[in-house]
Structure 1
Amino acid sequence: MASHVIQGRTVTMPVEVRDATVCSAMYPVRADAARAVIAYSGLDVAEVFPGKAVCVLTFVDYRDGDLDQYHEFGMAFMVRPPGVAGAAGLADLRQAGVFIHWLPVDQRFTLEAGRSIWGFPKELADIELRLSSPYKRCIVRKDGRLVLDMLVKPGVPVPGPGPMTPLDAYTHRDGLTRRVPWSVRARGVRVRPGGALIRLGNHPIAKELSELGLPKRALTSSTVARAEMTFGDAIHP
């Protein structure tokens, strides 16, 4: 069984998250702009409509997991797997993976683990989560500058717990793109069209989001009251 030593602690693979709350919104953005943002990865965006890619913004409260408790915000793009050609439309999205472009966290242990085990682009930031009401809110500040203030409205309940769904996440660090096997089981899911509000700050990431076309209406937003996740070792495609 593979393992990694992080700050003197042994992390055994796969890494498990036993309890987390997840809130996210998917935005249609210009495919040419999204390609420019992730050009360094060598990956291509999936197109939900001709000329439109999907940017995913997610915030997570990790309450119980192998990497301890922490808050996280993610900026990601739906991408085609390496070597797979695609045509615009839902078929492109069905085979898509998720490329993680920016992933700030608020604790140092998960920062080092994420970088060294998987190549996740984690960096320290101030992440304030307000999850006690049906309206879920995330405020991200980096180096004293506001990145964004994001609100996700409550959606319609989706009945029943979902199965453990396999996904592929992609990362890029030190000149190398990696694939990370990732599985999620979601309970207490709510989904709605639109449903997210964003206020951008003056940080460079906020500028990137603005140039992609945010804040505009989200395609969909969702909340997960309890998520379980499993992360396998990174694979070099």
Structure 2
Amino acid sequence: MASHLIQGRTVGMPVRVRDAEVCSAFFPVRADAARAVIAYSGLDVAEVLPGKAVCVLLFVDYRDGDLDTYHEFGMAFLVRPPGAAGSVGLGDLRRAGVFVHWLPVDQAFTLEAGRTLWGFPKELADIELRLGSPYKRCVLRKDGRLVLDLLIKPGAPVPGATAMAPLDAYTHREGVTRRVPWTVRARGARIRPGGALIRLGNHPIAKELSELGLPKRAMFSSSISRAAMTFGEATQV
């Protein structure tokens, strides 16, 4: 089994998360604007509708895992897998990969591990999660400036334990694009149309989101009260 040394600690692969709470919202955005945002990666967005790509905003409370406990926020885009022929339509989202454009966290160990092991674009930020009420809320600040305030209302339950199809996450760091195999097993999953309310701040990332044409209404939102995940060894694309 491969292993890596991070801050004097040995981290084995795959990296395992045993318990996390995950909330996410999927927004339709202008494909041309999204394509320009991620052009540096060499990847192309998946146009799920003509002229429309999908921006995924998510926040996670990692409660038990190999990289300790921490909070995380993610800004990602659904992308066509490298070399894939044809388009990825709304009914075929399982074929899409997820390109992680920005991934602030609130702890230094996971910051270094994420950058070193997979090339994740992790930065330190102030991530306030409020998960104890019927509404799930994330208030994200970076360098003392509000990035966003995201509120998600959980929807209808998805019964039982759900082993989601393996996903490919993509990252780009220091000129290299990588593929990261990622699996998720979910308990307490809920989903609903819409279900998200967002307020943007005055940080440059908020401006970037605004320029994507982020609508007031999400396509759909989801929440997982107990998620277990594995992240495999990254490979260069």
* TM bracket (short chain): over 0.9
Q: Following TM superposition, by how much is the alpha carbon of 1:83 offset from its aligned partner in structure 2, in angstroms?
A: 1.2
Q: Following TM superposition, by how much is the alpha carbon of 1:89 offset from its aligned partner in structure 2, in angstroms?
A: 1.7
Equivalenced residues, count: 237
Q: Does 1:107 align with 2:103?
A: no
> Which residue number corresponds to residue 234 of structure 2?
234
The alpha-carbon distance between structure 1 residues 3 and 213, as it changes in their structure 2 partners (threshold 3 A), is same
Q: Following TM superposition, by how much is the alpha carbon of 1:214 offset from its aligned partner in structure 2, in angstroms?
A: 2.0
Answer yes or no: is the 8 Å Cα contact 2:161–2:187 preserved in 1: yes
> Which residue number corresponds to residue 117 of structure 1?
117
> Which amino acid is the alignment partner of residue 173 of structure 2?
R
Which secondary structure does the structure 1 equivalent of 2:225 belong to?
strand
> Which residue number corresponds to residue 2 of structure 2?
2
Which secondary structure does the structure 2 equivalent of 1:10 belong to?
strand
Q: Percent identity?
A: 81
Q: Following TM superposition, by how much is the alpha carbon of 1:91 offset from its aligned partner in structure 2, in angstroms?
A: 5.3
Q: Following TM superposition, by how much is the alpha carbon of 1:128 offset from its aligned partner in structure 2, in angstroms?
A: 0.1
Which secondary structure does the structure 2 equivalent of 1:5 belong to?
strand
Cα distance in 2 for partners of 1:16, 1:164 equals 16
Which secondary structure does the structure 2 equivalent of 1:165 belong to?
coil
Matches within 5 A, 1:1-237: 1-87=1-87, 89-90=89-90, 93-163=93-163, 165-237=165-237
Which secondary structure does the structure 2 equivalent of 1:33 belong to?
helix
Answer yes or no: is the 8 Å Cα contact 2:88–2:96 preserved in 1: no
Answer yes or no: is the 8 Å Cα contact 2:75–2:101 preserved in 1: yes
Cα distance in 2 for partners of 1:79, 1:10 equals 32
Q: Which runs of 5+ in 1 are unaligned?
A: none
Taking structure 1 as the reference length, what is the TM-score of the superposition? 0.98
The alpha-carbon distance between structure 1 residues 85 and 183, as it changes in their structure 2 partners (threshold 3 A), is same
Answer yes or no: is the 8 Å Cα contact 1:197–1:215 preserved in 2: no
Structure 1 vs Structure 2 CA RMSD: 1.0
> Which amino acid is the alignment partner of residue 3 of structure 2?
S
> Which amino acid is the alignment partner of residue 30 of structure 1?
R
Answer yes or no: is the 8 Å Cα contact 2:4–2:11 preserved in 1: yes
> Which amino acid is the alignment partner of residue 147 of structure 1?
V
Answer yes or no: is the 8 Å Cα contact 2:117–2:233 preserved in 1: yes
Q: Which runs of 5+ in 2 are unaligned?
A: none
Q: Following TM superposition, by how much is the alpha carbon of 1:90 offset from its aligned partner in structure 2, in angstroms?
A: 2.7
Taking structure 2 as the reference length, what is the TM-score of the superposition? 0.98
Segments ≥4 residues shifted beyond 6 Å: none
Answer yes or no: is the 8 Å Cα contact 2:80–2:88 preserved in 1: no
> Which amino acid is the alignment partner of residue 97 of structure 1?
G
